[in-house]
Amino acid sequence: MRNMKNIPDLSLVLACYNEAPVFEKSVERIIDILLLSRLSFELIFVDDKSSDKTPRLIAKACKKYPRCYPLFHRNNCGRGKTVADGIRIAKGKAVGYIDIDLEVSPVYISEMVHIILSDKADVVIGKRIYRTTFVSIPREISSLIYRSLADSMVGTGRLDTETGYKFFNRKKILKILPMIRHRHWFWDTEIIVQAKLSGLRIREVPVLYTRRFDKKSTVRVLSDSLDYLISLWRLRKRLATTKKL
């Protein structure tokens, strides 16, 4: 039973889908970093109908560690809705999420959360700095192209909207969630656009991004790229209709 009287500094949402290869080491690393930060915290695991042993590993982690809470989807809902469901049940003053594969290290969490807690921003996102390799160059280029395109179409201010490393003032972001329609990867862009249009203060913090090749990516390059383009166009039309662009 969760203690609703003691509000933690941070609720960290970990969206999970077939994360068995990285789950245990990543969770141990995250908790070690959070304990060193001296932040009071809770972890919320949201499993999006994994087909591997991730649900069992979540249940095991919630027995092993205090302040860990599970949420299991009955059907696969998409990454965006998975994060949003975690945010909705969070109790922390700040709420955020990071990708559990830790391609961006959890060492940045404390800095970002303190920006929220000190009321210097309402939204803090990681701006990815790539450790450039031959293999990473196409992703760096595509990221830069997307930032430019998204800014020209929906006014993102060239923020790194797609980074899976974001923290929010919980009370303020809860008011934004009903505005978000996309349930999958484009959710990241849409929530930043709506937060910006709603007057929330947004700040970027540089974070080192290191691509992992020992974990299969759930991103489908061609179909997801097409979905992004269609979603940008639809969001642009919707914002134009409501006279926000």
pLDDT tens by residue, 136-195: 677 778 888 999 999 999 999 999 999 999 999 999 999 999 999 999 999 999 999 999
CA dihedral 91, 92, 98, 101 (to 10 degrees): -70
Determine, yes or no, domain membership for 210.
Answer: yes
Which range marks the domain in which residue 83 is found?
10-241
Q: What is the mean pLDDT of the chain?
A: 92
SS3 category, 204: strand
Determine, yes or no, domain membership for 19.
Answer: yes
Domain CATH code at residue 226:
3.90.550.10
| Count of domains for the chain | 1
Determine, yes or no, domain membership for 5.
Answer: no
Determine, yes or no, domain membership for 45.
Answer: yes
The mean pLDDT of 124-130, rounded to a whole number, is 95
In the prediction, which pLDDT does 153 show? 95
In the prediction, which pLDDT does 6 show? 84
SS3 category, 35: helix
Determine, yes or no, domain membership for 31.
Answer: yes
Determine, yes or no, domain membership for 159.
Answer: yes
Determine, yes or no, domain membership for 214.
Answer: yes
Residue 175 — φ and ψ, nearest 5°?
-75, -20
Q: Over pLDDT 70: what percentage of the chain?
A: 91
Q: In angstroms, rounded to a whole number, what is the distance separating the alpha carbons of residues 120 and 118?
A: 6
Q: Is residue 3 pLDDT above 90, yes or no?
A: no
Q: HSE of 125 in the Cβ direction (CA atoms, 13 Å)? A: 21
In the prediction, which pLDDT does 142 show? 84
Q: In angstroms, rounded to a whole number, what is the distance separating the alpha carbons of residues 156 and 133?
A: 27
Q: Which residue has the higher pLDDT, 238 or 137?
A: 238
Determine, yes or no, domain membership for 49.
Answer: yes
CA R_g for the chain: 17
